[in-house]
Amino acid sequence: MVEGKHSQFRRFIEIGRVCLVNKGEHSGKPAVLVEIVDHSRAILDGAATGVPRGLYHYNELLLTPIVMKIPRGARSKKVRKEFEAQKIVEKWEGSSWAKRRAAKTARQNLG
């Protein structure tokens, strides 16, 4: 896929893409895409954030603009090491997207 100047898409499914889990008990936590299974599923690993390594459908994910440099099919130990070395949690929490999500949940919990 060619990323052209006029392409409307900016975030792609790729190895090392940090994704936000959108459904289930780990909703709202970031994880890293480590393997692409087919056109609708991928293996994510969130060893540093508490998201278990497993198979997730693309419709359960939100793609963030953050991309890590990891090899394809990297083990959990390697993913955790790179996740902490590249300070992905700090990058995510510093983003305006994460701040808006936190503000929204804070407003909802005011009661």
Instruction: Summarize pLDDT for 9-62 with one digit per residue, the tens.
Output: 888 899 999 999 999 999 989 999 999 999 999 999 998 889 999 999 999 999
Distance CA 98, CA 96 (A): 5
Q: What is the dihedral of CA 2, 3, 5, 10, to 10 degrees?
A: 150
Q: Give the up-direction half-sphere exposure of residue 3: CA atoms within 13 A in the CB hemisphere.
A: 5
Q: pTM for this structure? A: 0.83
Partners of residue 55 on adjacent β-strands: 43
Residue with tokens 């902490």: 84
Model confidence at 86: pLDDT above 70: yes
Q: Which two tokens stand for residue 58?
A: 């693309």
Q: Which two tokens stand for residue 71?
A: 């090899």
**Domain 17-109 CATH class label:** mainly beta
**Whether 92 contacts 65, CB under 8 Å:** no
Residues 6+ apart with CB under 8 A from 79: 32, 34, 45, 47, 48, 70
